[in-house]
Structure 1
Amino acid sequence: MVGKEGVPELGSDGSSSDGAGGWILVNARILVGLIGAVSCFSWLFVMLGTSIFIPFADLEGVATGAAHLAFLGGCCTTLLACWRFSDWLSAHRIVQVILAAAFTLAGCVGFSLYELAATWYGAFGFVLGCGFSLIYPLYGEYICLFFHSDIKPYIVGIFAASVFMCTGLLFSGPDTSFLFAIIFPAVAISAYAVAMVLLRLDTVEGVKAKASDKRSQVVWRSYLATATSGMAAGFALGCILSTQNAQSGVFVLIEVALLGTCIGLLVDSLHKNFANETATMRLFLPFSAVVVFPLLFVPEEIRYVFAVLLLCGSIFPTTCSLSAICRHVVLCDLSAIRAFSFGRLICFGGIALGMIISFAGFSELAVQAIGSTATILSIILFMVLVIFSASFVMTEDNYPDRDRFKQAEVKAGSGEGEAVLVAGPGTPIRRLAGEPAVSDEPEVIDEGRLTRPGIFYLKCDAVAKRYDLSNRQKEVLVMLAKGRNAEYITEKLVISSHTAKAHIYNIYQKTGVHSRQELMDLVEEMEIELPGSD
């Protein structure tokens, strides 16, 4: 099995100790994919937030707007196709990588041509969006596979690293920025191809679409929240793109503000996690209305200030919704490509809507056509949509979490009862080797009793909660309770023997046992309340 080296804190001798607020390290082989994920998000941020990928277009004309919207159109089209054909793509990841490389190469070559018509920039933007959205779900699956115990810190960390890379790109100058920008898609695709070979990703068995949809616990309000946060980001990006040049000093300040926001989110996710999904969304919606309203009155030259505030604010719900869908994949054992593609389709659809509204109100073409009325109407429309969304999203918690997941009994020989969630909290969506895949069908429980494996994992979970074990320690606990040794744990989790022994030592210290047999006895004797028992 593949995994990460979960090392929240490192001592002076390099040993690990678990605790809140520590940093998380990864295995060297998994780091290849992590670098690719950073490049993938950098590619997205540069394409949506700047015009660097359109070096020869008239920045004050319609070509840039057409390219950005076409890129989003390509993203949405391809994500829809990935969702629809997730079963086939899960079995042919290498084909997906090849197609991503082909579309990306065609888009980059097209943008490098000199002085094309606006329609051509739109076409190449669409093609580049297709290339991005073919590799994007694969990295979503990668995050679910290897960072399942600490998804949110990794996602926020990837965002922060990506914004940092984009900030550095702005200092390359207008003549060379395009050449540096195309490095991002090249690294993103190449890194995944290397990770596929190193970690045998092509052998990962995907969950079937039918089984995945049956297990899904996402409610429509969570998708509405995702679309609304995307719309806010798109509206802010449209305002910035319409009024600022990507090489200006103002744009550097924008990137610095985004980087500070991401770093703050990263620190919060590693400590108290105050910026959780529900709290963030409930605060962000009224914040959006408050920030956008002054755009009706402020001078044109300082509108970007409020757009930056809105963009920084949208980072909170965007990262939360992304981590929520990845965590949902892990908890419910879903098809990562299918669930991730659909969730991101909703987000990109919201970004496209927000960008269209913003371009219609702030672009020079719109202002010349109908004057300041265009700006007023676009701001009012945006606020109405935000208020409409808030009336639904703020009524209750929308994102599924592990507290909502309960195993339900299924009567033998009947179709009654709800589907059983086979995978327990923290279980990766698929083991790469050494263990059989989880069945796509719910386990039938005879005479209202749970099977032995179900009791075993419930007992391990109870021990982990009683002695405050971390997610990584719980994984090690399960293996120890099965009689596995440190060598086996090292191989299966792809961690060093030193780290494995450190985890075992910490588990022994917390539980007060002195041997593996005592730990096995502790798990065996743990009393639990079985679901459905009176």
Structure 2
Amino acid sequence: MSNSVEPGKQANQLHIAAISSGLGFFWCCLFSELTGFSAQGEEALVWWNPIACRIAFFACFALFACFIAHLPFGAMGKRVRKNAIALVVASVAAFVATGVVEAAGAAIPVGIGIARDALGGLGAACLLFLWIPLIARTSRETLIASLSLSAVLGSGFSLGLKMMGDPAACFFLAASALACLGFAQLLSSSGIDLEGNAGISSAHQTEAKGIPLAQSKKNAQLSWAFGIVNVIYGIVFGVGAGNLLQVNQGPAVTCGCALLLAIGASAAHLFAHRSQGRVQQSTVLRMLFPVFVVALVPMSFLNSEGALFVICNLLILGSFTFLALVSIAFEIKGANERSASPLFFVGMSQMTLAGGMSLGFALDLIPGVTGVFSLNVLSAVALALVIVLAILITLTQSRMVDAQAEVDAAVAQARAIAEQAEQGRWKTRCAEIASDSKLSARETEVFLLLAKGRGTEHIQNKLGISSHTVKTHTYNVYKKLGVKNREELLDLVEGEK
């Protein structure tokens, strides 16, 4: 996230409020699934049902992220957007249906619950990627503030949802998904410009034109280490969240989950705001090593029923929020810097992270299945993975940084060549217009400055002539070109007339 590519505008408070409110409902859906939004109903069935539901949720989330990352043109387009909206509506219908069944006093079969959460994973991924083209157009300050505030709001929403009980929780979760979708559609179609420039007229203009997949892959240069690192982090997060699903989730644990999620979001805002884009992603990943060690070492020896064991898992939960937010901000701005599609960057990141979390939840099934493999041993395995991860990043960091520097240099060179070519085309176009319109030498000089958007005072000083002479030449230029004002002249130069 380099300052050189930032719009240079201060964060717009109205835009932050609109984005945070909409995305807050997405985080509500994600956090509620992550921490178990209806633990009482699930406990009434079989012990592994809550974990199996989360495996299905994050596996389907990863599948949709993979699909989005590999879109041929790097943009969703009409058909994909419509299908994504349809998946959100289908997931909402599934949660409403199960809520109605629970309200009637009937039990939800295990298979139906897992299928519902699998569809919920697809719906949640759709919500996120419907928002990515919108937030990718914001300034750096707005992006960071909006992501962090939305996660704080989402943690509060998820806390209220978990306090409701099964039927009401299903209805609130469905309403949250619809609210998130509604905010995204409203911002897409309202013509609000999130960068603070001239207004936009349609949803097609809010979404970036798109960058072909081949070009995104070439410019992004994502290494195999990137995927492995994200998967391992996801496994650790999945193990921590899975552990929390298997402890007694009283009010203290429920409030603790919301608190640590909010703290993680606040830490992400503080870090991203102060870093000013100077920090490499590998540095961000290394920052979490001490946190994981502090959490996983005690978990390898503590009683899984104790309060300290729960606190350690809550610490991992807060780390998830921190990494998720920083990662999304880094990927969006990294995509802009490298002329790659934000959907590709964020899609690859979320695919590997969510896939790892699904694996982490799956590992949490092992203690119950084997009967001898405890949560303490599982925590020790997670600690071993973190140590392997630390070694991997240490060994590959220099190569990753060098590869990123080479890509950045290549992209900068390509941009410079493109700008020179565009400048050459502009000069050729102006020369053709001047020749065809039979402009005099002085009129041609005035025309070139007008085509650059210069005003009367600048032209007067540049050419050393009076303002009256500038106006006379401007009148003659307009007359010979057959235009009435500056806008029509610029349209003519740009080939739009």
With normalisation by structure 1, the TM-score equals 0.67
Which residue matches 2:73?
87
Which residue matches 1:316?
322
Deviations 1:295-344 (A, max 9, x none): 23212222211111222234333332222211111112222223322221
What is the SS of the residue equivalent to 1:145? coil
Which residue matches 1:241?
245
Shift in Å at residue 191 of structure 1? 1.5
Shift in Å at residue 96 of structure 1? 3.4
Kept in 1: contact 2:75–2:341 (CA 8 A)? no
Quick one: which of 203, 206, 215 aligns to 1:201?
Answer: 203
Quick one: which of 295, 299, 308 aligns to 2:299?
Answer: 295
Rounded Cα–Cα distance in structure 2 between residues aligned with 1:516 and 1:277 = 45
Which residue matches 1:220?
224
One-letter amino acid of the counterpart of residue 334, structure 2? H
Kept in 2: contact 1:42–1:162 (CA 8 A)? yes
Shift in Å at residue 54 of structure 1? 8.5
Which residue matches 1:68?
54
Shift in Å at residue 172 of structure 1? 4.0
What is the SS of the residue equivalent to 1:123? helix
More moved, 174-183 vs 230-239: 174-183
One-letter amino acid of the counterpart of residue 380, structure 1? A
Which residue matches 1:130?
122
Alpha-carbon spacing, 1:380–1:286, altered in 2? closer, same or farther (3 Å): same
Alignment of structure 1 residues 22-171 onto 2, 5 Å: 24-27=11-14, 32-52=18-38, 55=41, 58=44, 61-87=47-73, 90-92=76-78, 93-112=80-99, 113=101, 114-148=106-140, 151-171=143-163
Kept in 1: contact 2:302–2:376 (CA 8 A)? no
Alpha-carbon spacing, 1:297–1:153, altered in 2? closer, same or farther (3 Å): same
One-letter amino acid of the counterpart of residue 381, structure 1? V
Cα RMSD, aligned residues only: 3.7
Which residue matches 2:282?
278
Quick one: which of 227, 230, 233 aligns to 1:229?
Answer: 233
Deviations 1:263-307 (A, max 9, x none): 233234333569873333223224313421222321222221111
Deviations 1:473-511 (A, max 9, x none): xxxxxxxx96489xxxxxxxxxxxxxxxxxxxxxxxxxx
Alpha-carbon spacing, 1:191–1:59, altered in 2? closer, same or farther (3 Å): farther
Alpha-carbon spacing, 1:270–1:123, altered in 2? closer, same or farther (3 Å): same
Deviations 1:365-402 (A, max 9, x none): 34xx423x333442232222222222111332657999
Which residue matches 2:355?
349
Provide the aligned length of Structure 1 versus Structure 2. Answer: 409
Alpha-carbon spacing, 1:387–1:50, altered in 2? closer, same or farther (3 Å): same
Shift in Å at residue 187 of structure 1? 0.7
1:335 counterpart = 2:320: no
One-letter amino acid of the counterpart of residue 129, structure 2? P
1:370 counterpart = 2:371: yes
Kept in 2: contact 1:148–1:330 (CA 8 A)? no
Which residue matches 1:384?
384
Alpha-carbon spacing, 1:121–1:47, altered in 2? closer, same or farther (3 Å): same
Which residue matches 1:180?
172
Rounded Cα–Cα distance in structure 2 between residues aligned with 1:393 and 1:335 = 25
Kept in 2: contact 1:58–1:64 (CA 8 A)? no
Deviations 1:394-430 (A, max 9, x none): 332657999766454xxxxxxxxx89553x9xxxxxx
More moved, 272-281 vs 262-271: 272-281
Kept in 2: contact 1:229–1:318 (CA 8 A)? no
Rounded Cα–Cα distance in structure 2 between residues aligned with 1:296 and 1:353 = 19
Rounded Cα–Cα distance in structure 2 between residues aligned with 1:109 and 1:50 = 17
Shift in Å at residue 51 of structure 1? 2.8
Rounded Cα–Cα distance in structure 2 between residues aligned with 1:62 and 1:222 = 31
Alpha-carbon spacing, 1:167–1:180, altered in 2? closer, same or farther (3 Å): same
One-letter amino acid of the counterpart of residue 385, structure 1? L
Rounded Cα–Cα distance in structure 2 between residues aligned with 1:348 and 1:76 = 5
Alpha-carbon spacing, 1:315–1:335, altered in 2? closer, same or farther (3 Å): same
Shift in Å at residue 159 of structure 1? 2.1
Rounded Cα–Cα distance in structure 1 between residues aligned with 2:454 and 2:270 = 35
Shift in Å at residue 517 of structure 1? 8.7
Alpha-carbon spacing, 1:264–1:325, altered in 2? closer, same or farther (3 Å): closer
Alpha-carbon spacing, 1:359–1:5, altered in 2? closer, same or farther (3 Å): same
One-letter amino acid of the counterpart of residue 258, structure 2? E
Kept in 1: contact 2:265–2:325 (CA 8 A)? no
Alpha-carbon spacing, 1:132–1:332, altered in 2? closer, same or farther (3 Å): same
One-letter amino acid of the counterpart of residue 190, structure 1? G
Rounded Cα–Cα distance in structure 1 between residues aligned with 2:176 and 2:402 = 33
Alpha-carbon spacing, 1:65–1:399, altered in 2? closer, same or farther (3 Å): farther
Which residue matches 2:264?
261
Which residue matches 1:427?
none
Rounded Cα–Cα distance in structure 2 between residues aligned with 1:297 and 1:53 = 26
Kept in 2: contact 1:52–1:181 (CA 8 A)? no
What is the SS of the residue equivalent to 1:77? helix
What is the SS of the residue equivalent to 2:288? helix
What is the SS of the residue equivalent to 2:297? helix
Shift in Å at residue 55 of structure 1? 4.8
The gaps in structure 1 that reach 5 residues or longer are: 9-23, 409-417, 425-441, 457-480, 486-514, 522-534
Rounded Cα–Cα distance in structure 2 between residues aligned with 1:265 and 1:453 = 41
Kept in 2: contact 1:72–1:352 (CA 8 A)? yes
Shift in Å at residue 347 of structure 1? 0.9
Deviations 1:137-175 (A, max 9, x none): 121222212245654343233322322322343444566
Rounded Cα–Cα distance in structure 1 between residues aligned with 2:401 and 2:156 = 29
Larger Rg: 2
Kept in 1: contact 2:304–2:376 (CA 8 A)? no
Alpha-carbon spacing, 1:516–1:37, altered in 2? closer, same or farther (3 Å): farther
Kept in 2: contact 1:66–1:121 (CA 8 A)? no
Rounded Cα–Cα distance in structure 1 between residues aligned with 2:36 and 2:260 = 15
Kept in 2: contact 1:239–1:307 (CA 8 A)? yes
Kept in 1: contact 2:257–2:317 (CA 8 A)? no
Which residue matches 2:478?
none
Kept in 2: contact 1:54–1:64 (CA 8 A)? no
Rounded Cα–Cα distance in structure 2 between residues aligned with 1:329 and 1:252 = 36
Shift in Å at residue 238 of structure 1? 0.6
One-letter amino acid of the counterpart of residue 302, structure 2? V
The gaps in structure 2 that reach 5 residues or longer are: 1-5, 192-201, 427-450, 464-497
Greater per-residue helix proportion: 2
What is the SS of the residue equivalent to 1:300? coil
Shift in Å at residue 348 of structure 1? 0.3
Shift in Å at residue 240 of structure 1? 0.6
Rounded Cα–Cα distance in structure 2 between residues aligned with 1:339 and 1:293 = 33
Rounded Cα–Cα distance in structure 2 between residues aligned with 1:291 and 1:109 = 37
Kept in 1: contact 2:28–2:176 (CA 8 A)? yes
Rounded Cα–Cα distance in structure 2 between residues aligned with 1:260 and 1:339 = 26
Alpha-carbon spacing, 1:125–1:314, altered in 2? closer, same or farther (3 Å): closer
With normalisation by structure 2, the TM-score equals 0.71
Rounded Cα–Cα distance in structure 2 between residues aligned with 1:262 and 1:180 = 22
